[in-house]
Amino acid sequence: MTGASEPVHSDAGTVHLRRAGTSVLLALPAHPDATGAPDGSLPAVVHWGADLGDLTNEAAAAVERATRPVVPHSALDRAFRLPLLPQPARGWTGRRVLEGRVLGGAGLPAVPLLAGAGPAEVEDGDETTAARVTFRSADAELGLEVRTELELTPEGLLRVRHTLRAGTGAGAAAGFEVAHLLSCLPLPAPATELLDLTGRWCRERAPQRQPIHQGAWVRDSWHGRTGHDATLLMVAGTPGFGFGRGEVWGVHTAWSGDHTTWVERLPTGEAVIGGGELLGPGEVRLEAGEGYTTPWVYAGWSDRGLDGLTDRFHRHLRARPQHVERPRPVVLNTWEAVYFDQDLDGLTALADAAAAIGVERFVLDDGWFLGRRDDQRGLGDWTVDPDVWPAGLTPLVEHVVGRGMEFGLWVEPEMVNQDSDLFREHPEWMLRGRETDPPPWRHQQVLDLRVPEAYAHLRDALLGLLDGHAISFLKWDMNRDLVDTGPGVHAQTQAVYRLLDELKSAHPEVEIESCSSGGARVDLAVLERTDRIWASDCIDALERQSIQRWTSLLVPLELMGAHVGGPEAHTTGRRHRLAFRAATALFGHFGIEWDLRGLSEAESTELAGWIGLYREHRSLLHTGRLHRADSPDESLWVHGVVAEDGGRALYAVVRTATSADAVPSPVRLPGLDPGRDYEVRVVGPVPAERAPRLQLSEGWTPGPLLLSGAALGTVGLVPPVLAPEDAVVLEVSAVPR
């Protein structure tokens, strides 16, 4: 493997891990004051970033010595090197990463004072496994032990987590309540600019940038789920970094409940980037012998901008043993086609129309279960409504499967309407923080999965559906924040994970989508248990261009649902041409959310053509490397996927708005092999009425353009699209010289 080597152990206690062009150099001091660490015994990250090469013991020790901090005026008498668990008592004046309260007696607040507890354990791994360092620290007075794990994956991602255990010393009998236990890494001085994401329902993953000033930029999320405004990645980098330029360091907190991500720079010069779970009072109370393990915090470095960071995360996800391997089927979801207006005749007709144009998976959305005529009742009663489906779902399932499609079903298992049989029978199963009910949200409340009986009831209902029908896909929704739920989010999140794991164990063939009011639960922890995410409830193609562009910062295209809606977007009222809607959905897991029964012959033909283009290129789209161009024209976006061998690529050139320039400048196609020649052609259905809007320059005639990868990546070509809110797809194929 490029950049892999045996770990280096110097006399001063350094460990050097290398993977995929990334180096992590740790100081693991063997003796007090050996490295300038704040207490002489807690490990510190000396370097996280570019590969340092094959360091000898002496060279690693020299790097450690050369970077030891000095003692400033009016400060502690001992130099401060930032450890992995910075502590106030040792000189850290930034955000506290470990706090709690001693149980029993006066229950006093406590800031543990940790010291090393034994030598580090180092496992170098191999070509396909992570290099790992584990070390232990302890506070003997409070009876606490912390086990810290660092892993450098084969893709060059660093991930960190801690396990705190009570009952190891003098305070063992009392126990400990954890207020928070966070993970952070030092941020190098060249990182002076910050990018994170925010958003709301139907406008997820909106980027925002700012300089990194002294102080903290903290993104706390108290939604009880990941949140529409969650920053998938918080990225710090060199000034002006972009998709293809600059050095960047980014982190992601892999947790689906309350969490935080932050960057902080102190006046003394230290800076950190980190994240972790946010805990409410009383959520984690450890009796003697019990432990709490934090979520993984993933960290990535790249010297080729955001695309390099994205590439590491995409490669990591694709290397997982459970990653979806088979071609991602074309989906039709019934929500915007029929809403709650369900009947067998109408839906079989819709299934027939879908099968006729190449749809491969038919998903029945909300409205099929007991009493569900609108969004105000029925949640929790996961039995088929006999008034709507007198013969059950079997006739529809059999019809769909008979037309050569898979059948999928929408569920929202974690929720309950107060107008439901389940709530009337078990009102005590509602998740509450007090005697009064939490405020309703979309007319629904949360089912308390911490209650064993509630959990078992829900699990058995879902297993009954999967056991009794040929269901290949569950659209798993979750349509509210968890507010006024008391100290329940941590255990509720763990229960959801356990439920997903149980269902997957019983039905490993069933794929599950993480949907949460659209894109409010998108994170690496839920993706460990699901097979795709729903990026947003908004399928307006113009909004989706931005939503998908930034969601793909973390999530590969095969795991991101992207659908073609009707001519008028249901959430915004905008109208777009089919070509723009389809070209947008092409760069994801392609699907449709449109009543196909009313299509004209021309619309059916064009949509079938886009489905054919997706099916032809999905193996490339879902295995290749994603590239996004940095363009001086903010209204002209370019993104594409290049095959691993560089032999072919597919790009979208997108005009999001009118431009100040009447004649567009050439756009670059990043990621191609500069030493190869390529043919470039426009692909996809182009109806006659749309052709004039493309305004192809004379350079495109009489046939495809032939240019080198170097020319396409540095000079570019004049794009064949000028109309606002339009897109064109370019196929790029290598040719022999």
pLDDT of 565-580, one tens digit each? 999 999 999 999 999 9
Query: Considering only 111-115, 364-368, 617-621, which range has the smallest mean pLDDT?
Result: 111-115
Residue 670, preceding bond cis, omega within 30 degrees?
A: no
Alpha-carbon gap, residue 204 to 226, rounded angstroms: 12
Q: In this predicted model, what pLDDT tens digit does every residue of 289-342 receive, in sequence order?
A: 999 999 999 999 999 999 999 999 999 999 999 999 999 999 999 999 999 999
Q: Give the burial string for 533-567 (b: 16+ CB within 10 Å, else e).
A: bbbbbbbbbbbbbbbbbbbbbbbbbbbbbbbbbbe
Query: What pLDDT does 688 receive?
Result: 61
Smallest Cα–Cα separation from 578: which of 598, 562, 602?
Answer: 602
Q: Are residues 554 and 641 in the same domain?
A: no
**CATH number of the domain to which 168 belongs:** 2.70.98.60
Q: Are residues 123 and 160 in the same domain?
A: yes
Residue 36 has pLDDT above 50, yes or no: no
Smallest Cα–Cα separation from 626: which of 719, 549, 541?
Answer: 549
For residues 539, 540, 541, 545, the Cα torsion angle rounded to the nearest 10 degrees is: -80
In this structure, which amino acid lies at residue 38?
P
Residue 1 has pLDDT above 70, yes or no: no
Enclosing H/E stretch for 352:
helix 344-356
Please report whether residue 555 resides in a domain.
yes
Residue 665 has pLDDT above 90, yes or no: no
pLDDT band, residue 158 (cuts 50/70/90)? very high
Query: Considering only 31-45, 120-134, 395-409, 439-453, which range has the smallest mean pLDDT?
Result: 31-45
Alpha-carbon gap, residue 80 to 78, rounded angstroms: 6
Residue 693 has pLDDT above 70, yes or no: no
Q: Are residues 311 and 360 in the same domain?
A: no
Q: Are residues 497 and 508 in the same domain?
A: yes
Residue 271 near residue 194, CB atoms below 8 Å: no
Among the candidates 290, 318, 346, a domain finishes at: 318
**CATH number of the domain to which 512 belongs:** 3.20.20.70
Please report whether residue 68 resides in a domain.
no
Query: What pLDDT does 196 receive?
Result: 98
- What is the full DSSP assignment across 102-158? E-STT--EE----EE-S--EEE---TTS-EEEEEEEEETTTTEEEEEEEEE-TTS-E
How open is the CA angle 618-200-420, to the nearest 5 degrees?
A: 90
Estimate the share of the chain in helix, then strand, then coil, as percent rounded to the nearest 5: 20, 30, 50
Q: In this predicted model, what pLDDT tens digit does every residue of 259-283 receive, in sequence order?
A: 999 999 999 999 999 999 999 999 9
pLDDT band, residue 30 (cuts 50/70/90)? low
What proportion of the chain, given as a percentage, has pLDDT over 90?
Answer: 82
Q: In this predicted model, what pLDDT tens digit does every residue of 418-432 receive, in sequence order?
A: 999 999 999 999 999
Q: Are residues 368 and 278 in the same domain?
A: no
Residue 444, strand partner residues: 441
Between 276 and 119, where is the model more confident?
276
Read off the tokens for 305. Answer: 């901008």
Residue 733, strand partner residues: 648, 679
Q: How many domains does the chain have?
A: 3
Please report whether residue 121 resides in a domain.
yes
**CATH number of the domain to which 691 belongs:** 2.60.40.1180
Please report whether residue 594 resides in a domain.
yes
Query: What pLDDT does 413 receive?
Result: 98
In this structure, which amino acid lies at residue 330?
V
Among the candidates 580, 605, 623, a domain finishes at: 623
The parent domain of residue 112 ranges over 95-318
Query: What pLDDT does 173 receive?
Result: 56
Smallest Cα–Cα separation from 45: which of 26, 60, 63?
Answer: 26
Q: Are residues 494 and 381 in the same domain?
A: yes
Q: How many C-beta atoms lie closer than 10 Å to residue 720's C-beta?
A: 19
Among the candidates 269, 293, 318, a domain finishes at: 318
Q: Are residues 168 and 235 in the same domain?
A: yes
Residue 137 near residue 116, CB atoms below 8 Å: yes
Query: Considering only 116-125, 667-676, 689-698, 725-734, which range has the smallest mean pLDDT?
Result: 689-698
Query: What pLDDT does 9 receive?
Result: 66
Q: Are residues 616 and 636 in the same domain?
A: no
Active-site amino acid positions: 477, 537
Q: In this predicted model, what pLDDT tens digit does every residue of 702-736 receive, in sequence order?
A: 778 999 999 999 999 988 767 889 999 999 999 99
pLDDT band, residue 80 (cuts 50/70/90)? confident
- What is the full DSSP assignment across 63-97? HHHHTPPP--SSS-SS----BSS--GGGT--S--S
**Could you say which DSSP state residue 295 is in?**
P
Residue 35 near residue 44, CB atoms below 8 Å: yes
Please report whether residue 419 resides in a domain.
yes
Q: Are residues 223 and 366 in the same domain?
A: no
Query: What pLDDT does 32 receive?
Result: 45
Q: Give the burial string for 104-135 (b: 16+ CB within 10 Å, else e).
A: eeeeeebebbbebbeebebebbeeeebbbbeb
Across 258-360, where does the E strand assignment appear? Answer: 259-265, 271-277, 285-286, 291-293, 297-302, 331-333
Q: Are residues 481 and 602 in the same domain?
A: yes
Residue 226 near residue 521, CB atoms below 8 Å: yes
Between 594 and 720, where is the model more confident?
594
**Could you say which DSSP state residue 309 is in?**
H
Q: Are residues 460 and 342 in the same domain?
A: yes
Residue 348 has pLDDT above 80, yes or no: yes
Query: What pLDDT does 31 receive?
Result: 46
Report strand pairing: 131-139 vs 144-152.
antiparallel
Q: Are residues 397 and 540 in the same domain?
A: yes
pLDDT band, residue 37 (cuts 50/70/90)? very low
What proportion of the chain, given as a percentage, has pLDDT over 70?
Answer: 94
Please report whether residue 66 resides in a domain.
no
* Total residue count of the chain as it appears in this document: 737
